[in-house]
């Protein structure tokens, strides 16, 4: 696919049924259709390139002048999981959902020795992401075209230091992923000191409430919540029951280190986790 592809004139600024532009501050540079949904790549003001589902749900955004920087707040909050990552040299990471590849670019840049498996149900998303969002070639990166739930239930012999769950479609959170069977399988393939970071949205209240209940049951002694400021998204960090116990001192040191390396607000993430998590977590954390 040619990344300089120019759509027909009527696609450059599509309108809704009332004739209002769908993207007032940008123009479509690529459009494709998958399972009845429209997927648009839009160049916007300020040098931003974004990926939209059904012309209304933003899935990813990239700063063309700084592709490694995480622009969307929820993606930065997902990386709060790095505070608790013990193996920073050669971690095994699993990501459910590729999208525009923001988290992939960030992880491969800051954890160059990692082995990263990405599961994406849309068989055309990898090509789109490579063409328009600079998905890098990396010896540790492998893209799997599959439903995330089926992938976890059928895989064998691999255990992960970190599992990132960010599986959205035009309806919101993917139903097959945000379900008990999936979370049970994810826990099974996590190492004892591992972390699962899960992006939830309160905009889909039924799936949100169901997922929170499931996570509380599966991770009764290892559960942190991190609301995304100014958003209806919330990140949940879950740890296995067998994880060793420690206090906040080490986490604060790691947050400071990551903040210096990435210029992201890791210290604020840690403060918010302490504020919004249960009283158990005010005394200690598991990692």
Q: What is the CATH number of the domain that holds 111?
A: 3.40.50.150
Q: Does 33 share its domain with 158?
A: no
Looking at the domain assignment, is residue 2 inside a domain?
no
Q: Are residues 40 and 83 in the same domain?
A: no
What CATH number is given to the structural domain containing 45?
Answer: 2.30.140
197 lies in a domain? yes
Mean pLDDT of 151-169: 90
Residues with active-site annotation: 166
| 4 located within any domain | no
Q: What is the pLDDT of residue 108?
A: 97
Q: What is the pLDDT of residue 112?
A: 96
Q: Are residues 160 and 40 in the same domain?
A: no
Does one domain contain both 40 and 142? Answer: no
pLDDT at residue 242 is higher than 60: no
Q: Are residues 27 and 138 in the same domain?
A: no
Question: Residues 23-67: pLDDT tens digits?
Answer: 877 899 999 998 888 999 999 999 999 999 887 788 999 999 999
Give the HSE-up count for residue 136: Cα atoms under 13 Å, Cβ half-sphere.
Answer: 16
Higher pLDDT, 127 or 174: 127
Number of domains in the chain: 2
The beta-strand segments (E) located in 35-165 are: 37-44, 48-53, 57-63, 92-96, 115-120, 141-145, 160-165
| The pLDDT of residue 170 | 67
pLDDT digits (tens, 9 = 90+) for 59-96: 999 999 999 999 999 999 999 999 999 999 999 999 99
Which DSSP state fits 86?
S
Residue 41 sits in the same domain as residue 93: no
Domain of residue 38: give its range. 9-63
The mean pLDDT value for 90-119 works out to 97
Q: Could you tell me if 236 and 223 are in contact, meaning their C-beta atoms sit under 8 angstroms apart? A: yes
């Amino acid at each position: 696919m040619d990344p300089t592809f120019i759509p027909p004139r009527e696609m450059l600024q599509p309108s809704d049924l009332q004739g209002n532009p769908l993207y007032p501050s940008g123009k479509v540079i690529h459009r494709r259709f998958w399972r009845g949904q429209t997927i648009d790549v839009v160049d916007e003001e300020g040098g931003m390139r974004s990926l939209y589902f059904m012309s209304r749900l933003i899935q990813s955004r990239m700063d063309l002048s700084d592709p490694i920087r995480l622009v969307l707040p929820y993606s930065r909050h997902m990386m709060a999981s790095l505070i608790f990552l013990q193996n920073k040299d050669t971690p095994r990471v699993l990501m459910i959902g590729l999208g525009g590849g923001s988290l992939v670019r960030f992880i491969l840049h800051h954890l160059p020795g990692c082995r990263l498996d990405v599961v994406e149900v849309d068989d055309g998303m990898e090509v789109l992401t490579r063409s328009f969002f600079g998905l890098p070639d990396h010896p540790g990166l492998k893209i799997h075209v599959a439903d995330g739930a089926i992938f976890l239930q059928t895989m064998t012999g691999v255990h992960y230091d970190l599992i990132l769950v960010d599986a959205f479609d035009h309806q919101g959170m993917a139903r097959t992923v945000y379900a008990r069977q999936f979370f049970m399988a994810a826990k099974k393939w996590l190492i004892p000191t591992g972390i699962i970071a899960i992006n939830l949205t309160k905009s889909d209240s039924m799936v949100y409430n169901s997922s929170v209940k499931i996570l509380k049951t599966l991770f009764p002694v290892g559960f942190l919540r991190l609301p995304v400021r100014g958003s209806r998204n919330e990140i949940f960090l879950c740890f296995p029951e067998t994880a060793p116990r420690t206090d906040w001192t080490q986490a604060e040191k790691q947050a400071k280190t990551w903040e210096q390396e990435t210029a992201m607000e890791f210290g604020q993430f840690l403060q918010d986790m302490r504020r919004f998590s249960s009283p158990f977590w005010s005394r200690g954390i598991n990692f």
